[in-house]
Homo-oligomer: A and B are copies of this chain.
Amino acid sequence: MTEKKNNIIQAALKLFTCTGFHACSTSKVAKQAKVSEGLIFKHFKNKEGLLQAILVEGEEKSKKLFYPILSAETPQQILKRTLELPFRIKGDDFEFWKLQYKLKWELEYDHSKKMQPLMDRLTEAFTALDYSNPEMEAQFLLYTLDGIAASLLKGALNNETELHDYLMNKYNV
């Protein structure tokens, strides 16, 4: 990975995130990255390829975020770490996850597959904790966290820690 190639990815991540994929032209990405526009197409073939490169880079971030849950050893741990999920997004990752949510709507991306392992572990935890309907309980919690993450990424959440505490209290962890 050359410096300029990386510049392109960072510039695109920033601009796609703040203006959207379709509303951001390759010429603007090139300008922001301080490279010639042609270089984008040399490295990524086309605009879609540039987006895919960003998404592939983000896979690691995805794994980094989910790993604590997938590797948890007790139901309490699974639950606790799941409740932390939206609040662990910060810094560089913030932009990436915001882009994910934008793409979900702009390009109708589906990441239910990505969430399935999480769903499974949560169901497992709720089963162990004797909840009467573990599957629904897991689905319900993931929707809630999705709503919270959406609000957080849009910058509309002003009581993060209070909400997190409330959640932990609600689920007794």
Interface residues of A (CB under 8 A from B): 20, 22-23, 101-102, 104-106, 108, 110, 112, 133, 136, 139-140, 142-148, 150-151, 154, 156, 162-163, 166-167, 170
A-B pairs with the 8 shortest C-beta distances?
A143-B147, A147-B147, A146-B147, A22-B22, A144-B144, A22-B23, A136-B166, A105-B105
Contact A105 B106 (CB under 8 A): yes
Q: In whole angstroms, what is the CA distance A150 to B142 when docked?
A: 12
Copy number in the complex reads 2
Contact A162 B144 (CB under 8 A): no
List B contacts of A166 (CB < 8 A): 133, 136, 140
User: Closest CB-CB distance, A155 to chain B, in whole Å?
Assistant: 9
Q: 24 A–B contact pairs at CB < 8 A?
A: A20-B22, A20-B105, A22-B22, A22-B23, A101-B105, A102-B105, A104-B154, A105-B105, A105-B154, A106-B106, A108-B154, A112-B156, A136-B162, A140-B144, A140-B166, A140-B170, A143-B144, A143-B148, A144-B144, A144-B147, A145-B147, A146-B150, A147-B147, A147-B150
Contact B147 A163 (CB under 8 A): no
User: Closest CB-CB distance, A102 to chain B, in whole Å?
Assistant: 5
List B contacts of A140 (CB < 8 A): 144, 163, 166-167, 170
Q: In whole angstroms, what is the CA distance A102 to B101 when docked?
A: 10
User: Closest CB-CB distance, A126 to chain B, in whole Å?
Assistant: 13
